[in-house]
């Protein structure tokens, strides 16, 4: 079996975010970049678990981005995987990114493609579904459990108010959510091995982006705290009603 895991670079949640070029781009200075947690903790780790059960499994990682993505993909290799592929393109357009992944996937003949359920910066949850359409494979989203027997996968996924269990035949695309695997930390052996694992750089296919960023903006600053005396209930009620609009 051949597995392809999609890896994305995202800002650490502790980083202070700012914008540049007329609020059309992230300001990279001072930002700590990490592997998107849904890609790392769930999609990648579940793929590693499958490879551990069947060592004949081929596990590849893919990211779409510039050279600044290479430390991130190397860290992912330190967790596990046979080799990584970097598509040498920088884009915020979901279709463009998914189409680049799909081109590599079709050439590689992968049986299983894993993505995280979303990235923590854009939260669009769109890559997996677009990739599935472009490679003509079934798509199952928000997987909380994933099992495979022969060519059949059984996936439990989140739905409103409960869970749903699906079956599909390989090849299949699955987006992974919390519960599908447990977080792992790279060990020294994995870190050393990642330095020599192949990282293949490919040029992007000629695909037009369908969207572009017009501008970013930060959320409004939080208002100051108003303290109300514990014995002044009437004032508290007035503030909640007139200013906070909570009652």
Each residue of 70-112: pLDDT tens digit? Answer: 999 999 999 999 999 999 999 999 999 999 999 999 999 999 9
Lowest mean pLDDT among 59-63, 154-158, 190-194: 190-194
CA atoms within 13 A on the CB side of 53: 10
* 129 C-beta neighbours (distance < 10 Å), count: 16
Tell me the C-alpha distance between 82 and 80, whole Å: 7
Confidence of residue 17 (pLDDT cuts 50, 70, 90): confident
Query: How much is the pLDDT for 182?
Result: 86
Q: At what angle are helices 94-108 and 127-135 packed, to 10 degrees? A: 40
Nearest to 195 by CA among 87, 81, 77: 77
| 225-229 average pLDDT score | 86
Class of domain 2-219: alpha beta
Tens digits of residue pLDDT in 18-51: 999 989 888 888 889 999 999 999 999 999 999 9
User: 105, exposed or middle or buried, with CB in 10 Å at 0-12, 13-18, 19+?
Assistant: buried
pTM of the model: 0.87
Query: How much is the pLDDT for 219?
Result: 85
Domain ranges across the chain: 2-219
Confidence check: pLDDT of 244 > 90? no
């Amino acid at each position: 079996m051949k597995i392809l895991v999609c890896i994305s670079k995202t800002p650490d949640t502790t980083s202070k975010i700012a914008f540049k070029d007329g609020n059309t781009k992230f300001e990279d200075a001072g930002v700590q970049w990490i592997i998107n947690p849904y890609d790392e903790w769930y999609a990648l780790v579940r793929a590693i678990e499958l490879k551990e059960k069947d060592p004949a499994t081929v596990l590849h990682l893919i990211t779409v981005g510039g050279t600044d993505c290479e430390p991130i993909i190397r860290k992912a290799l330190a967790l596990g995987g046979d080799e990584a592929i970097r598509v040498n393109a920088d884009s915020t357009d979901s279709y463009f990114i998914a189409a680049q992944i799909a081109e590599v996937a079709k050439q590689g003949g992968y049986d299983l493609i894993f993505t995280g359920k979303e990235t923590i910066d854009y939260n669009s949850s769109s890559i997996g579904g677009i990739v599935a359409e472009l490679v003509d494979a079934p798509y199952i989203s928000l997987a909380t459990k994933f099992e495979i027997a022969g060519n059949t996968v059984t996936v439990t996924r989140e739905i409103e108010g409960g869970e749903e269990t699906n079956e599909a035949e390989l090849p299949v695309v699955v987006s992974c959510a919390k519960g599908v695997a447990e977080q792992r930390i790279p060990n020294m052996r994995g870190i050393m091995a990642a330095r020599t694992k192949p990282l293949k750089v490919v040029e992007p296919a000629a695909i037009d982006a369908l969207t572009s960023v017009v501008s970013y903006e930060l959320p409004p600053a939080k208002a100051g705290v108003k303290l109300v005396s514990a014995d002044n209930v009437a004032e508290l009620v007035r503030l909640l009603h007139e200013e906070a609009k909570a009652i």
